Amino acid sequence: MKFRPAWHVNGFAVLVAWFVLTLGFGAAAAYGFVVAARDGSTPALVAAIAATVLAVVVLILASGLIVVNPNEAKVVQFFGRYIGSVSEPGFFAVLPLTDRKSISLRVRNFETQKLKVNDADGSPVEIAAVVVYRVVDSFKAAFAVDDYEEYVETQSEAAVRHLATTHPYDSHEAGTSLRDGAEIAEELTVELRERTALAGIEVLEARITHLAYAPEIAQAMLVRQQAAQVVAARTRIVEGAVGMVGMALDRLSEQGVVELDEERRAAMVSNLLVVLCGDRATQPVVNAGSLYN
C-alpha cells in the first residue's frame, strides 16, 4: 500500500443536508407515531419506524465530518483498513465510522544530545547536530514506523555517530574533517535523507551545532593545535625570509652596490635571516674593524 487521497466532499454542504434530513425524518417519525397512536394505523407505524431508522442513519453520517488545519494531514481508516489521506485544509466530510489520525506536515527541527564518540583518529570528541525535517508522506509516517518522531531522533543520533567515526576532528592532510562545516553538513543531510525516507520524512537540512574534544584530552589537544600553528607560522616566515634574502642579494649584484665574496655573502645571509626570522627585535652590532680581523 502507498499514499493515496481519501474520498471527501465539502463539509458545509453535507452539514446543511444533514440538518435538513434530520429535521425532515424526525418530523416524519413524530407525525407517524402520532397518527399510529391515534388511529391505530399500521402503515403509519411502519413509516414512523422507517423515518426513525433513517434519522439515525443521518446522525451516523455526521461522524464523517472533519476539520483539516493548514499543513496537516488526516489519515483515514475504516475498521483498520487504510482509506486514504486528506491533506487539503478545510472542512470536509469523509466516510462515517472511520478513525482519523492527524499528521503534522509542518517543518520541525530536532537537536541531538551531545554525543561522546571517537573520531577517525581515535580521539574522543563531543558532537551534536540540529536536523530540520518535515513529513511528506502521511501514510508512511503513520504506518511504516511505530513513531516517526522517535524514529527521526534515533536515526539522527546514529547518523551523527557514524559521521564522527569516519572523519577526524581536524584534518592534518588533504581530506575532509569534522570542522569543514559545509561539506560535513551536506554529507550528514544526504545520509539522513536515506535513513528517514522509509518513514515518509524529508530532511531539509542537518548541521553540526557542537564540536569539541572530550574534557579529558582537551588540554593536550589545545597544546597540539598551538604547536601546529606555531610550526605553520614559522614555516611561512622562513619561506618569506629566504625569498627576501635572495631578492636583496640579487639587487645588490645587479646595481653593483658592493662586491661580495662567498664569505661576505654567507655572513650577510646569516645576518638577514636572524633579523627576518627572529621573534624579538634585533640589536645591531657595529663592526669598527675588518670582517677578516
Query: Is 255's pLDDT higher than 70?
Result: no
pLDDT confidence of residue 242:
77
**pLDDT, average across residues 81-107:** 91
Please measure the distance between the N-terminal and C-terminal CA atoms of the chain and give it in whole angstroms: 100
The sheet carrying 81-86 orders its strands as 81-86, 72-78, 99-104
pLDDT confidence of residue 223:
62
* pLDDT class of 26 with cuts at 50, 70, 90: confident
* pLDDT class of 43 with cuts at 50, 70, 90: confident
Mean residue pLDDT of the chain comes to 82
Query: Is 126's pLDDT higher than 70?
Result: yes
**pLDDT, average across residues 194-200:** 93
The answer regarding whether domain 108-217 maps to CATH 3.30.479.30 reads: yes
Q: What is the pLDDT of residues 154-191, one digit of tens each?
A: 999 999 999 999 988 877 666 788 888 889 999 999 99
pLDDT confidence of residue 186:
93
Would you say 221 and 178 are in contact if contact means Cβ atoms under 8 Å apart?
no
Q: Which of 127-136, 175-184, 240-249, 273-282 has the lowest mean pLDDT?
A: 273-282
The dihedral region occupied by 93, where left means phi > 0, alpha psi between -120 and 50, and beta the remainder, is beta
Instruction: Indicate the domain borders of the chain.
Output: 9-103, 108-217, 230-286
Kindly state the DSSP code that residue 290 receives in the 8-state scheme. Answer: -
**pLDDT, average across residues 89-109:** 91
pLDDT confidence of residue 287:
58
Query: Is 292's pLDDT higher than 60?
Result: no
* pLDDT class of 120 with cuts at 50, 70, 90: confident
Task: List Cβ neighbours of 167 (8 Å cut-off, separation of 6 or more).
Answer: 119, 120, 175, 176, 177, 178, 184
Positions of E strands within the chain: 9-10, 65-68, 72-78, 81-86, 90-93, 99-104, 108-111, 115-118, 124-135, 201-213
Find how far residue 199's CA is from the centre of its chain. 15
pLDDT confidence of residue 91:
93
**pLDDT, average across residues 132-139:** 94
Query: Is 262's pLDDT higher than 70?
Result: no
pLDDT confidence of residue 226:
65
Query: Is 293's pLDDT higher than 60?
Result: no
